[in-house]
Amino acid sequence: MSQMTISARLPRAARARTGARSVDASPARTNIGFLLLCAFIVASSFTAVLVLNTARAEGSYVLSRLEVQRTALHDQKVTLAEELAEKESPENLAGAAEKLKMVPSTSTATVRLSDGSITGVASKVEDGHTITVDLPSTGIPLPKDD
């Protein structure tokens, strides 16, 4: 005999005593706190990824701007080095000295900065100009060569 035939034969009071009742499979109480925690974790993860991605993109833009600036500064450095090499060439220095009415020296004298002593002898320039040097320690000019 099946269950249906037995329950159909039992009176209603007897059926209630057997404890047969229908039960809902889903729980009666939902766990809202757990759902909110999961939603918070997912939302904070997405926010963190967005913030990190934005910071990375900003760093990329800063890096590209700095590379452009580095290239411009390198070009400026090369240009200035070429100008300096051109200006310190012997031909340009001789031309600048002629504009200042300087003449080449036949002999040289040097001043040692540590003690102020003069080494070598400066001779007279051929076109009649003389050189006067003030000694820093005494303030007395050297005698002129005639």
Assess contact for 97 and 109: CB atoms under 8 A. Answer: no
Give the position of tokens 């009649």.
128
**DSSP single-letter state for residue 143:** P
**Count of CA atoms in the C-beta half-sphere (13 A) of 52:** 6
pLDDT, averaged in runs of 10, over the chain (146 residues): 54 57 65 92 97 94 94 97 92 88 78 85 67 57 58
User: What is the predicted pLDDT for the residue at 109?
Assistant: 82
Amino acid sitting at position 49: V
- Domain parsing of the chain, residue ranges: 32-102, 104-146
Given this model, what pLDDT does residue 105 score?
74
